[in-house]
Structure 1
Amino acid sequence: MTDVTKTRKPLSIVTKLCYGIGGIGPDLIWLVFGAYTSTFLVQVAQLPPLFATSVIFGSRAIDIFCNFLFSPLIDRTNTRWGKAKPWIVASLLVITVTNALIWYVPDVGTGGKLAWYIILYVLMKLAVSGFHIPFRTYVMFLTDDGSDRDSAVLYRTGLSLGGLVGGSAIHGQILALYRRSEYDACDMINTTYMYGANNTNRSMDGASLEMTKNGYLISSAALCLFTLAGSLAVSFGTTERKDISRTSGGEGSAKSLLRTLKTVLTFRPNVCLLLAYCCNQAAVSIVHGAIALYVEYSLDREDQIENVILASMVSSALAMPVVAFVVSKIGKKTCYLCSQLVAIPLFIGYQFVPSGSLAVYAIVIGHGFSSGAHFFIPWALMSDIIEECYLQTKERLDTAFFAVLLSANSIGITVGLIMATIGLEIGGYELGSCFQPESVGSAMRTLLAIFTSALVFVGVLFIWKFPITEERQKEIMEAVKKRKLASASQHDASQRNGSLSDMNQEALIPQETSSSIPNGLQEEDKLVSSDTDLSVLSVCKESAV
């Protein structure tokens, strides 16, 4: 009997590294989108806050439903490179082109710019969905070993966060360089000279705006290089196992799709994870979407925006070894639960940071450590959920499960970004003004402290109800191993039966021989007359021997 656990080598470090590098570009682009979309649309593109909300909501709403559309398309893909890899590489190329255009501000008026950004944001979201679903599922197609999958997810998360640190530094410092240029119309010396010391509604001039636009364009070119590097790494550094991927997915019909969605959306462990992840992701997205506005208008420390965002990313990256160690000691569920409980007082702390204080660094660094667990553990838990469903239903629905989790991710991000722009509207944000009323800063404080804490608390409740404990995970791994061994045994038996069947078929075909009676048969052993051709018995005897 063939032992499949011994014939397959564990994933190499090179494969894990190449898999992780593939996600750096899109994740970095997504981070920049989350942190700078609201600021870019209202300050640089000069769109009213409600228009910016329309752009964000329109693109995100399409993303939520496109995840369900892409899942069956990916399942039905069958190429020499497999199911997932063609989608990953093609989507990365589209993301690169779209990202190069999306930070350009066309001179077509407010209505034209609104249409421009809606179209590009929708294209970007389609490309990102076409990337993330196969890329997240790809870990299931690289190996069938649970520990190898968790290790690959850890590599991916760590490399992604490391890339986010480097990319955030590049993006932030480029913007800071152009913001602090000699054309800064909001500098106090320039504005006092131009408008007088008592003016409270000074607007950015055209030269300063053009410099800021150039900063975004140069930064986007750097992000595109990260994405192209990821495309090359996945193309040449990883190999999809078709023996796994070909068993994933349903029949592809509308009825099968609805049945698959029903199975995924009613599977209790998945429901608990989806609700918990959606709440926690909404809280994280509120921070990403509003932290720049909070630092500028609540703390009056515009010069620290890039450094605060960078500190959060560095702490998340440094947290990954700690999270991996804690998971190995207490399990995924307990680690995720504890990390989110710790995040609640940190969120509340945003309310009490004094204006002009640098105490915000302590909060964002602590929040970065809790975010590290959020970025890694839910995706590792999804592997356990898929295997548990496989044991119960005998169906592999890898792509569908990851698509639904990505939809929950999109819902959380959408809620977070929309709440950030709505907070600006409620706070009375004045479009194009260098100075904003104090109500804008108060709205950002309330948003970051109260709403995020409430969302995380609800998420903690759903994590508490998550049924796959560490003990159950070990049982799942053992059961899956036994099922694979049984499947391999049946496969070997089928091959042996097939070989014997072929030999018997050959044996039953009469052969021409020189003697009608095979050697070694005595007269008393004959069961038929001497005229009968008994050469077939010779063949059968040789086959038996």
Structure 2
Amino acid sequence: MAASPGGTPAPAVEPLSPQPAAHTPEPGSDSRAGRLSFCKKVCYGIGGVPNQVASSATAFYLQLFLLDVAQIPAAQVSLVLFGGKVSGAAADPVAGFFINRSRRTGSGRLMPWVLGCTPFIALAYFFLWFLPPFTSLRGIWYMTFYCLFQALATFFQVPYTALTMLLTPSPRERDSATAYRMTMEMAGTLMGAAVHGLVVSGAHARNSCEDAALLGPVAISPDATRLYSIAAAVVAVTYPVCSGVLHLGVKEQPEPSAPASSQSLGFLAGLGLTVRHPPYLRLVISFLFISAAVQVEQSYLVLFCTHASRLHDHVQSLVLTVLVSAVLSTPLWEWFLQRFGKRMSAVGICVMVPFAILLAAVPTAPVAYVVSFVSGVSIAVSLLLPWSMLPDVVDDFQLQHQHGPGLETIFYSSYVFFTKLSGASALGISTLSLGFAGYEAGACKQAEQVVVTLKVLISAVPTCMILTGLCILLIGPAPKPGHLPPSQDTSRRLSLRRRTSYSLA
């Protein structure tokens, strides 16, 4: 790692050998102040559940709802998905700007943002699944509430994820809290897909599609509106409940004081520095492709099973298989990345590639369940890895630049901004391709061009994105040990060098 500008080589830092590194204490790791109790980790993890519950339901079922229940054209659905994702992406730097300038209150600097957004997100989410009585302006209705929901969810998620840096000074405890958060969020993802899917399953009964000659749109189930409203209300309630648990169980720690020689940066100046930091830049660009691939895979699984294969009766089971596999494999991936390193763990993302191609070629039930299980394992590491690497990148940046506190919000918000923007582009273009292929909203049977398009979207598109992202993530300059600023004490220098050795620095 290179020295900071103007820094002098530290005279007494020797190369790390396995034995000394293993016994060198990390900051806060041996003190009670640096440790997080099991209860605090669980409460922190619960705070991230609502967004994952809602995101899971929208990822798997929103396209199906808009196309086959609201019955708006595929081109309008493309605009709704693209506009909503862009709205969420645009809200990230705005959230980072305002949160970075906010003052600390009795509840902290980040917690008030989480609590303040909670009731508004719940309302926006409920109306996103509400079927208005008019038909001509439904596209505008769903565009409005999807944009509102995505923007508010961003103002909820940015301070919540940045709170990781203010839970404890111990890097191992932060990694542990991240693993708890990811496990609870995976459980929320599972709950969201399961509850929403079970409630609305009656809205997509195939009784009216038994006539194979029926190609045009069919009337939706009379209970569809009620079922989707019930599912939306159940998910919306999780926001106030889980936010209350987070507030009661977690206390935001005061930010460390900046060194006397450092200067606090404004948001735009800080953003300009962060996006030029090579480890951060490589992390962001690689996960632009990987996260977009995961979103495409999730969004088109239900449509593929419904219209491009004879797996309609297995939709709920396949979705649950994906999510159960992801939940169960998250702790295993956390152990793996601690044991073998985070760069090595990234290889696990590409496991889904051959199986996704196999599903498109052989869309049978046994193959579909195997693919769903393997996809869940890959999705788990693709979600855990960037959030585990970000604290390392932030620490590496702070070592080189020595700026004041607050930059962690910029790192987190800009990362979410870029990944959401890539997801918006991928989903918008792919849904628009369905329109070009001739997708007919509400139809029982789609044209052959639509079936081929769905097969490409479920296999070839995610494969290319994942391989591209992994090439960027793994093919790069090897970490180079360097000299650290003399202002850091020896134990902190050794600890930070061990931690950044896991990252892309």
TM range (shorter): 0.7 to 0.9
Partner of 2:217: 203
Tell me which residue corresponds to 2:17.
none
Q: Distance in 1 between matches of 2:396 and 2:465?
A: 28
**Correspondence for 1:523:** none
How much has 1:362 moved relative to structure 2?
0.4
Question: More displaced, 429-438 or 263-272?
Answer: 429-438
Please tell me whether residue 313 in structure 1 is matched to residue 339 in structure 2: no
Matches within 5 A, 1:139-218: 139-180=164-205, 186-188=208-210, 192=211, 199-205=213-219, 208=221, 210-218=222-230
Distance 1:389 1:67 in 2: 20
Q: Tell me the amino acid that sits aligned with residue 86 of structure 1.
A: P
Deviations 1:409-441 (A, max 9, x none): 212321342244123213311122222112212
Q: 1:350 aligns with which of 355, 359, 364?
A: 359
Alpha-carbon distance in 1 for matches of 2:255, 2:109: 11
Q: Which residue of 2 aligns with 1:333?
A: 343
1:272-421 equivalences under 5 Å are 272-336=282-346, 338-354=347-363, 356-395=364-403, 396=405, 397-421=407-431
**2:120 is equivalent to residue 94 of structure 1:** yes
Q: Take 2:489 and 2:395, find their aligned partners in 1: how far apart are those partners? A: 7
What is the correspondence of 1:43-54 to structure 2 with a 5 Å cutoff? 43-54=68-79
Query: Tell me, what secondary structure is at the counterpart of 1:440?
Result: helix
In structure 1, what residue type is equivalent to 2:393?
I
Name which of 88, 111, 130 aligns with 1:85: 111
Task: Give the aligned residue type for 1:425.
Answer: G
Q: Taking structure 2 as the reference length, what is the TM-score of the superposition?
A: 0.85
CA–CA distance in 1 between the matches of 2:232 and 2:185? 17
Alignment-derived partner of residue 540 in structure 1: none
Q: d(CA) in 2 for partners of 1:244 and 1:114?
A: 48
Task: Give the whole-Å Cα distance in 2 for the aligned partners of 1:119 and 1:295.
Answer: 29
1:242 counterpart SS class: coil
Please tell me whether residue 226 in structure 1 is matched to residue 226 in structure 2.
no
Q: 2:329 and 2:66 mapped to 1: Cα distance?
A: 32
Distance 2:436 2:146 in 1: 25
CA RMSD in angstroms, aligned pairs only:
2.6
**Amino acid in the other structure paired with 1:240:** E
Higher helix share: 1
Q: Following superposition of structure 1 onto structure 2, how do residues 15-26 of structure 1 map, counting pairs within 5 Å?
A: 15-26=40-51
Aligned partner of 2:460 in structure 1 is 450
Cα distance in 2 for partners of 1:460, 1:166 equals 30
The answer to whether residue 469 in structure 2 is matched with residue 459 in structure 1 is yes
- SS of alignment partner, residue 459 of structure 2: helix
Partners in 2 of 1:334 and 1:341 — Cα distance? 12
* SS of residue in 1 equivalent to 2:102: coil
TM-score by length of 1: 0.79
Residue number in structure 2 paired with 1:42: 67
8 Å contact from structure 1 (residues 14, 237) kept in 2: yes
Cα shift at 1:472: 6.8
Alignment CA distance shift 1:398-1:309 (3 Å):
same
Q: Work out the percentage of aligned pairs sharing the same amino acid.
A: 23
CA deviation profile, 1:338-368 (whole Å, cap 9, x unmatched): 11232322232232123x5441110111011
Check conservation: 2:53, 2:191, Cα contact below 8 A. Answer: no
Query: Please, which runs of 5 or more residues in structure 2 have no aligned partner?
Result: 1-26, 495-505
CA 1:335/1:484 → structure 2, altered by over 3 Å: closer, same or farther? closer
Shift of 1:273: 0.5
Aligned to 2:88: 63
Cα displacement (A) at 1:222: 1.3
Deviation at 1:484, TM superposition (A): 9.4
Relative contact order (C-alpha < 8 Å, sep 6+): which is higher? Answer: 2
Deviation at 1:467, TM superposition (A): 5.9
CA contact (8 A) 1:386 1:401 kept: yes
Q: Which runs of 5+ in 1 are unaligned?
A: 193-197, 486-545
Report how far residue 292 of structure 1 moved: 0.6
Matching residue's letter, 2:176: S
CA contact (8 A) 1:141 1:241 kept: yes
Q: Distance in 2 between matches of 1:211 and 1:151?
A: 44
In structure 2, the CA distance between the partners of 1:212 and 1:250, relative to structure 1 (3 Å rule), is: farther
Provide the rounded CA distance (Å) in 2 between the counterparts of 1:484 and 1:398: 20
What is the identity, as a one-letter code, of the residue corresponding to 2:170? D
1:494 corresponds to? none
Give per-residue Cα distances to partners, 1:373-425, cap 9 Å, x unaligned.
11111101000000000000002410000001111221232134224412321
TM-fit CA distance, 1:229 = 1.9
Give the aligned partner of residue 435 of structure 1.
445
Which deviations, in whole Å up to 9, do the C-alpha atoms of 1:218-262 show, x marking residues without a partner?
111111222222111111010001134999x9857xxx3322111
Q: Tell me the distance in 2 between the aligned counterparts of 1:392 and 1:246.
A: 14
1:97-136 residue pairs with structure 2 within 5 A?
Answer: 97-110=123-136, 112-136=137-161
Structure 1 CA distance for aligned equivalents of residues 490 and 107 of structure 2: 27
Counterpart Cα distance in 1 of 2:173 and 2:49? 20
Contact 2:28 2:35 (C-alpha < 8 Å) held by counterparts: no
Equivalence map 1:253-264=2 (5 Å): 256-264=266-274
The 1-side partners of 2:342 and 2:120 are apart by 35
Q: Which has the larger radius of gyration?
A: 1
Pairs aligned (count)? 460
| Equivalent residue number for residue 542 of structure 1 | none
Counterpart CA distance in 2 for 1:416 and 1:382 is 24
- Which whole-Å CA distance do the structure 2 matches of 1:344 and 1:201 have between them? 33
Q: In structure 2, do the counterparts of structure 1 residues 484 and 304 end up closer, same or farther at CA, with 3 Å as the change threshold?
A: same
Distance in 2 separating the partners of 1:468 and 1:322: 26
How far the C-alpha of 1:325 sits from its partner, in A, is 2.0
Query: Quick one: distance in 2 between partners of 1:271 and 1:480?
Result: 28
Letter matched to residue 261 of structure 1 = L
User: How far apart are the structure 2 equivalents of 1:250 and 1:312?
Assistant: 47
Q: Residue 464 of structure 1: CA displacement? A: 0.8
